[in-house]
A and B are shown apart, each in its own frame.
Chain A
Amino acid sequence: AQSVTQPDIHITVSEGASLELRCNYSYGATPYLFWYVQSPGQGLQLLLKYFSGDTLVQGIKGFEAEFKRSQSSFNLRKPSVHWSDAAEYFCAVGARSSGSARQLTFGSGTQLTVLP
């Protein structure tokens, strides 16, 4: 069974600073990988995904993530954080399996606070 670890429960950065949120996964093969963002009281919005090919993927709102197979990681980055980026971020993994439910397994999330 797959699992996801987000080691940082809470991260605080100043507006304009760079950001990196860590995600490590456990899965026997190359998984599908996702980052979602959740604002208070809201559902999850898909930021970006990795299926195959280029290991550096671009997403919405200026975010990018890099898949590193050797480290089983899929860290999320943004060069310059905006106050509106304050939210909770979830990394998720989907198993590559035909005929399966293809449900996602989520990490426990990283809460991002942005200081003015």
Chain B
Amino acid sequence: DTGVSQNPRHKITKRGQNVTFRCDPISEHNRLYWYRQTLGQGPEFLTYFQNEAQLEKSRLLSDRFSAERPKGSFSTLEIQRTEQGDSAMYLCASSSTRRDSSYEQYFGPGTRLTVT
């Protein structure tokens, strides 16, 4: 079990540029989540995949955000036309579908985005 991995760990970009983050979940987990965490706050839910299907999106996920999980394995989160307010830590988590265990989410180290 290698855990959840995320790349890159840090990204600095200029306002208006597009950025893409990648998440590789724990291999046997078919549920995948994206959260956003700003300074001094707890993580906030953005979106959720079960296998390749994106089943839920938060109102926090504006039209500039898009997430994919094309083969039900890794996932990408793209932010278009970044704004300074997008600066945050983007966390990915995964869980299994086994009963009760499906609530146990395991988090990656996060990608810290800074928009200048």
Which A residues are closer than 8 A to B by beta carbons? 4, 32, 34, 36, 41-46, 49, 51, 90, 92, 94, 100-109
Contacts and interface: CB of A to CB of B under 8 A. Distances in A.
B103 A32 contact: yes
Contacts, number: 61
Contacts of A43: 4, 6, 91, 107-110
A101 B42 contact: no
Given A90-B42, A106-B44, A101 B105 contact: no
A108 B40 contact: yes
**Interface residues of A: mostly helix, strand, loop or mixed?**
strand
A44 B103 contact: no
B72 interface: no
**Most chain B beta-carbon neighbours within 10 Å: one of A32, A49, A101:** A101
Nearest to A49: B104
B56 A44 contact: no
B107 A101 contact: no
B4 A109 contact: no
Interface in B76-114: 91, 93, 95, 100, 102-110, 112
A34 B106 CA distance: 12
Contact of B42 (A41, A46, A103, A106): A106
Interface string B46-60: 001000000110000
10 contacts: A32-B103, A43-B91, A43-B110, A44-B91, A49-B103, A51-B103, A100-B56, A101-B48, A103-B48, A103-B56
